[in-house]
Amino acid sequence: MSYLLGIDIGTTTITSVAVDADSGQIVELATTSNDARHNDRPKGRSEWDANRIISQAIECVKNVVALLGPRAKQIAGIGMTGQQHGMVLVDKHLSPVSPYINWQDQRGNEPNAQGISLIETLAERLGDDQYEKHGCYLRTGFMNVTLHWLTANDQLPVGSRAAFIMDLVASRLCHAPLVSDPTAAGSAGLLNIHTNRWDSDALKELNIPISVLPEVSSVRDQVGTVTNDIAMMTGLPAGIPVFVPIGDNQASFLGSVADRHKQLSINVGTGGQVSAYSATTGQHESLEVRPFPYGGFLLANVGACGGRSFAALEDFFQAVARDIFGIQPERSAYERMKELADKTIASDTGLTCSPLFTGTRQDPSQRASWSGLSPENFTPALMTRALLEGMADTFHEGFAAILSCGVQGITEIVGAGNGIRENAVLQQCIETTFNMQVRKPLQREEATLGAAITAAIGCGILKDLSDSSRWIQYE
């Protein structure tokens, strides 16, 4: 019997799992909160201690190896994933020379003296074909905008290289040069997704030297093998192959979708993502076109609403208790909100909700609203139900955008992430809106399982993606 390790360097948590190579079952899991954020930065900055993230990741691997005990000798390979937006600068020794600047960073939206944001200025430079080439538009927090800002503000050290955080951790495990799979590199907004090469024209327009970017490789390839030093630190056997990491959206899809040609993924965490596989690229302003491991693309509608929308309404109910009645609640209101929402249908009363509290990627200025309020439906139960129905409607709009790109044959939804796993009412709303069944994977750590699948394919334990479907089971 052999095992594969999957590692996920996430914004909230860092997780490592050991997967049984025969069954695809997660047999051991170690996770830790990612507490590396710098809280003393100016408003709008999202900067993290990269060294802390690396040490937490190594500690997480050490913990899962300890749980395996003697079985650790049978680890065949390591696959990795992580937050695919954001970057850190490193020197030739792979030591960070900047903070890790992640996807939440807002410096690209800051206006200049004329009231024009950096994003607007750079978008005009790149022209109308940026989406067709890169699969996405310029976004603050993406590597393209951050690298331009660092260059323009003379904060790009000579000889430094830009790295995605999971790529850096992989290279540190092997003491090997930085490489990046297109599933991650594509999120920089600088990769020509048709050729899987850095776009020299875009780099020129953004004043970014190509020498700062990592080499584009493939998940089929090894970054290297675990060094003796890392083996001593973690208990891993030296010489285990570490495969090129993939983006977290793609990893979650791999670890939860058994049939990429028939299943749609709806992943609800803090935000929400609606994703479908396509053999070819598509084009819609609400979608990102992301390279998919081993070929093809993922069409993704990203982040319009999710757990943060439900949390915003819960915060309001908590504030009513405190500020109106002088009661300090001892527990959250989530369970009660779901109980109330389960007993009613808001749309039957004319009440609807647009749950876009933080806007969309296309229009960050959009805000949430409830429409059709009356004295009869202005209740906590109906406001909650309307919010959940509105979330389902928003996900369906993302699906409609995917269908407009020529995707066909979707007959089933895979619901992943705690926002859908822990909310049966939201699941019910989605099933009603889509007229499809929602299936939930038995194993919760979808992204780490997806990473482990890449290692299994790399090691030859799984033949290909079709073979990996036997690892995916549903409740």
For the chain, residues with pLDDT lower than 50 are none
Q: What is the Cα–Cα distance from 361 to 367, expressed in whole angstroms?
A: 12
Side-chain-side CA neighbours of 205 within 13 Å: the count stands at 18
Side-chain-side CA neighbours of 82 within 13 Å: the count stands at 28
Q: What is the Cα–Cα distance from 25 to 20, expressed in whole angstroms?
A: 5
pTM over 0.75? The answer is yes
Q: CA torsion angle for 355, 357, 360, 364 (degrees, to 10)?
A: 150
Q: What is the Cα–Cα distance from 440 to 413, expressed in whole angstroms?
A: 9
Instruction: Give me the pLDDT at residue 113, please.
Output: 86
**C-alpha separations of 335 from 66, 168, 256, 322 in Å:** 36, 40, 26, 18
Largest CA distance in the chain: 69
Instruction: Give me the pLDDT at residue 366, please.
Output: 87
Domains of the chain: 3-251+445-471 (3.30.420.40), 257-440 (3.30.420.40)
Instruction: Give me the pLDDT at residue 394, please.
Output: 96
Residue at 270: amino acid letter: T
The DSSP output letter for 62 is H
Tokens of 412: 């089933």
Instruction: Give me the pLDDT at residue 392, please.
Output: 97
pLDDT tens digits along 409-463:
999 999 999 999 999 999 999 999 999 999 999 999 999 999 999 999 999 999 9
CA nearest 4: which of 469, 463, 459?
459
